[in-house]
Structure 1
């Protein structure tokens, strides 16, 4: 009976003896799993002097065992591998291409001859030299069959390795500089390699469905929290009320009835208790009325000339705790609105006599009830897209380098540009889903206004996502450990959030820092997205196309920088 086990056939009796060496049960399935195959391969290493062909997944322990049995016994081990750097542990290495032996000898000697720091570099030089020779031979054929001095049995001892196939010993190996066609073949990205790396990255994502779902939902959660918790009016603010008027028909009671009770909770107190409560942090302010407030206010409305005492007695006195400016501004606005409603109710068509001589007409852009959330939302969407993309890619190369996948890609002939493009395309799919979900929520659920082209807004957000991916690739290419990569990604978050005009206008930033703010990737982009959504502007406006131009510039810079760093480090 023949049993298949990781690329070689053995009889059942031989299989049973090797199962005992590998601590595996004899009832091994006809095609065992990968972990059992690796254990079985390790179990068969002790019998390599027998006539068995074994294909191994070479781990560090297996390499160590191979070295030991070669040193202690009269055994030669021949290994074939696509991972060039893995072969550096061998005593003699042979580099082949298209069935032809390019070089043979100790790894250090091969690298020294070609002034290379790695076997991969030496192999690439040999390939370029071979390509150049083939081009020259095609244009002017000068080579013929190998003579006796070049053949393998022309006087060279069998155990003496060759360092190169070419001129006889004693002559210097001819060196050629590859022409632009050969160089372009090694520089330009190949679609097959990019597609393979793209599939590999997508498979890694698919194996973690929980993490992938969390990545899709996280921007929706963050955007929803911003729309729900940022920019709204404070609720349930306790304010002490000191009313010295006792009559139920007094103007003070009528005025207080116009206050927004959902935002302000009125607590009637004496003068002493009210101020003591504010000092103790129990209340956010005090609203006070004099005992003659109604009569003095009537005189102010009816008489042209009144004394200072009448003016003071007919005024509403407010003391606020300004440690929280947002709450203080809300209280000022609510009290002002309540007084205006009270005057309109009491005076009717004559209310203009006591109104401020300033009239705010209908707004040119936006609406009268525009809140702070409307200002924050566009910048928040760009910021969330950017930094989630940074988080997705900041650890990409770090983890692959840690697992050895990145080195395997290099020795397989994958270029840094191909690696960058594969990660860019795979992460672009993720951020496209994130952007779609975010826009659905802010436009349909939270009713954020959009007066301009939705397509322009989507393109700008996607470009910001690509900028985040590119910046994450820079971090991942430059840093080796996960902790440092996380620190670099988080270290840029708050400075960019504060300086980019996302949560507060750029015009409020002092001028030395404002110049730095204008150079950041999200400052002009946030302004551009607000102009698209709230003003309905298109690319013909400078404030719109400037955001696109700056974002494209940062994308190009980050991608080039990441490619250069990755190339230098490999």
Structure 2
């Protein structure tokens, strides 16, 4: 049976870790980062966590802060497990300085400190007093200077000030002296000693500079996910009879390398109810629930390690007792850890008062959201080039669409082989061809014209037969059957380069319209009814739209929402990626900001930008380029707003999933063409093969484009299915990715 080495004064230290195990990966790629780790940090002391890079120091701190779940074990931070609702861990009771600078370069020193003070819900008066104190204490430069203008050492001190702004009880510094010069390193240690002595602040810092930790009250030597030894520097030197901590660490590492043993894997599952109950077993689960009136921690008797009163002690890899899921006691306030062979009697009991239930524990903080909102606005204002780009892009895109798409191709060179001598009716026909569309290029022979069209000089050939006028007169004045020679001699032969379909269709349409005008004038001249030459199919005035509607009119609805959608995707797809990469997300998570608050603040900020973009797009559509609209402008604006929110939530989903800007950009770009091509924006979805057709229906813009097209071209309202279903699906595409992004952020935090 494995006994858990837990002292009777459990819960009295600032930080207590017992048998913490944590791994990353699965199967063959599984890496055990923390192995039955035990650590105790006394209150009001400086604890130096020493170890090489990659030994698990940062992982341990993330577990202590509630930023990372662990496989098994027990962590108490300031007397309670982290993430206990209302406990303030993560939250304002802890100050955190990550390895990265984790500051906004656009902010001034004062704005940076005010931002984090607001996140911690400090009053303005308290904030100003604290800023003046820290500016003087840390010898910071002028508070109006922006962070981007500071040197590396000055940025480190500002980052340190951010960790101290709310006067935390616990200060956690992750590699605070890495990459700094010795003078600044000594200054940082002077500040730490000052805070520890004068304000009774508990400080835990990680470092791989072993000898600099002599100033710490307690040193924990860590290697391969284990605390090899934990004691005051002087005691370690005396016990091991060595002159340096580096020598002691080397000795312990060599001894640890010789040891062999197996690690137990313990599953953990956390649930929330009216009590906190922890049952630990090799194959059991750990269940944690919130307390009601008081919370008791019942743990197996272990050998006290002697740190309760600040005395020196030493841990060597303690492990948990194997226990079963015995029934809970009658007290709903107990945290229980029972041995299989033991009973409740004789188990040391630690009680702490219940944190009263308050509504604000469950609601987003308005101050935090306001701080995040103002932060995003300031970043926009401090990047005028980027902000101008956000507002210029929709102008450029919508202008390019209306100027370049859907218009009639112009100045098309066409070879004309006129075999009629002298030209009569053939010349009358050629005069009906519009000069701005077709540039006539007379060519002597058909062979020459074919050679030129094969070389790409012309888009088509119009061949007029000899005696064209005579055959035309005979065709329309002869009674009875007309011979084939007359039919052939009165026919124009057109040869096209059909590789460009739009140009080929334009030439066909233009030549046919010119011929109809020519034949009507000719027949009227000879006293013949022009209707005799028309095809006996009459297209009456359409119910919706017009017979001469351009391709632009078909595409405009889809293009409007696609521009708005993808502008929103581009605006938000790297939002979380950049802040996560620079350590800023870690900082606000430790400050107690919730995923809900972050999501709401980002959506609010980006919605302002998107609203301006929507206004620009609609203004240019209806006022500058005079596109027709038969429907309610409110429905158009509403659909644009929903599509902007839809693109924003899709971008936030990409940002929450991706770890790098390159990955986020690739995901955003990769989604562009599938959505554009399958949503019926460029071509009707009725032309899509059926397996792909159903995928197209599930995209965010398919029904939206149809709905907006029905509103703009037909004047329909929400009483039509084609309209309201577009709004419903767009709303779903907004809410579902937004919820998923919040969930992923919550999981990844």
Normalising by the smaller structure, the TM-score range is 0.7 to 0.9
8 Å contact kept, 2:415–2:443:
yes
Question: Relative to structure 1, is the Cα distance of residues 552 and 88 closer, same or farther in structure 2, using a 3 angstrom cutoff?
Answer: farther
1:222 matched to 2:401? The reply is: no
Question: Relative to structure 1, is the Cα distance of residues 30 and 362 closer, same or farther in structure 2, using a 3 angstrom cutoff?
Answer: closer
Aligned to 2:463: 288
Question: Relative to structure 1, is the Cα distance of residues 5 and 242 closer, same or farther in structure 2, using a 3 angstrom cutoff?
Answer: same
1:89 matched to 2:263? The reply is: no
Question: Relative to structure 1, is the Cα distance of residues 191 and 39 closer, same or farther in structure 2, using a 3 angstrom cutoff?
Answer: closer
**d(CA) in 1 for partners of 2:661 and 2:558?**
28
Question: Relative to structure 1, is the Cα distance of residues 552 and 176 closer, same or farther in structure 2, using a 3 angstrom cutoff?
Answer: farther
**d(CA) in 2 for partners of 1:510 and 1:330?**
27
Question: Relative to structure 1, is the Cα distance of residues 426 and 257 closer, same or farther in structure 2, using a 3 angstrom cutoff?
Answer: same
8 Å contact kept, 1:243–1:288:
yes
Compute the displacement of 1:190 (Å): 2.4
Question: Relative to structure 1, is the Cα distance of residues 30 and 450 closer, same or farther in structure 2, using a 3 angstrom cutoff?
Answer: closer
Q: Deviations over 1:382-427 (max 9, x none)?
A: 1111111111111100111122211111011111111111111100
Q: Map 1:162-241 onto structure 2 (within 5 A).
A: 171-173=348-350, 185-241=360-416
**d(CA) in 2 for partners of 1:86 and 1:253?**
97
**d(CA) in 2 for partners of 1:460 and 1:79?**
58
Q: Map 1:422-501 onto structure 2 (within 5 A).
A: 422-501=601-680
**d(CA) in 1 for partners of 2:519 and 2:144?**
90
**d(CA) in 2 for partners of 1:355 and 1:8?**
90
8 Å contact kept, 1:400–1:406:
yes
Aligned to 2:731: 552
Q: Deviations over 1:112-166 (max 9, x none)?
A: xxx999xxxxxxx99xxxx966x627xxxx99xxxxxxxxxx99534469xxxx9
Aligned to 2:539: 360
Q: Deviations over 1:51-104 (max 9, x none)?
A: xxxxx997955467699769999x946469xxx9995639789xxxxxxxxxxx
8 Å contact kept, 1:386–1:465:
yes
Segments of structure 1 that go 5 or more residues without pairing to the other structure are: 11-17, 23-27, 46-55, 94-104, 107-114, 118-124, 144-153
Aligned to 2:501: 325
Aligned with 1:89: secondary structure? strand
8 Å contact kept, 2:678–2:685:
yes
**d(CA) in 2 for partners of 1:68 and 1:444?**
63
Aligned to 2:440: 266
**d(CA) in 1 for partners of 2:132 and 2:370?**
31
Aligned with 1:311: secondary structure? helix
Q: Map 1:44-443 onto structure 2 (within 5 A).
A: 60=175, 62=177, 76=193, 78=195, 87=204, 89=206, 136=293, 157-159=309-311, 171-173=348-350, 185-248=360-423, 250-270=424-444, 271-303=446-478, 304-348=480-524, 350-443=529-622
**d(CA) in 2 for partners of 1:71 and 1:548?**
57
**d(CA) in 2 for partners of 1:393 and 1:273?**
58
Aligned with 1:358: secondary structure? coil
Question: Relative to structure 1, is the Cα distance of residues 79 and 499 closer, same or farther in structure 2, using a 3 angstrom cutoff?
Answer: farther
**d(CA) in 1 for partners of 2:691 and 2:507?**
34
Aligned to 2:698: 519
8 Å contact kept, 1:5–1:31:
no
Q: What TM-score does the superposition give when structure 1 sets the normalisation length?
A: 0.76
Aligned with 2:462: secondary structure? strand
**d(CA) in 2 for partners of 1:71 and 1:38?**
10
Structure with the higher strand share, 1 or 2: 2
**d(CA) in 1 for partners of 2:623 and 2:684?**
26
**d(CA) in 2 for partners of 1:558 and 1:502?**
22
Question: Relative to structure 1, is the Cα distance of residues 72 and 493 closer, same or farther in structure 2, using a 3 angstrom cutoff?
Answer: closer
Question: Relative to structure 1, is the Cα distance of residues 234 and 155 closer, same or farther in structure 2, using a 3 angstrom cutoff?
Answer: closer
Coordinate RMSD, CA, aligned: 4.2
Segments of structure 2 that go 5 or more residues without pairing to the other structure are: 1-130, 161-170, 208-215, 219-229, 232-265, 269-275, 278-288, 297-305, 314-334, 337-345
8 Å contact kept, 1:38–1:57:
no
8 Å contact kept, 1:5–1:32:
no
Aligned to 1:51: none
Aligned with 1:492: secondary structure? helix
8 Å contact kept, 1:397–1:476:
yes
8 Å contact kept, 2:196–2:202:
no
8 Å contact kept, 2:175–2:206:
no
Aligned with 1:287: secondary structure? strand
**d(CA) in 1 for partners of 2:607 and 2:202?**
32
Q: Deviations over 1:212-257 (max 9, x none)?
A: 0110110111011011101111111111011011224x11110110
Aligned with 1:7: secondary structure? helix
**d(CA) in 2 for partners of 1:37 and 1:281?**
63
Structure with the higher helix share, 1 or 2: 1
Q: Deviations over 1:264-301 (max 9, x none)?
A: 01111021211111111111111111111111111111
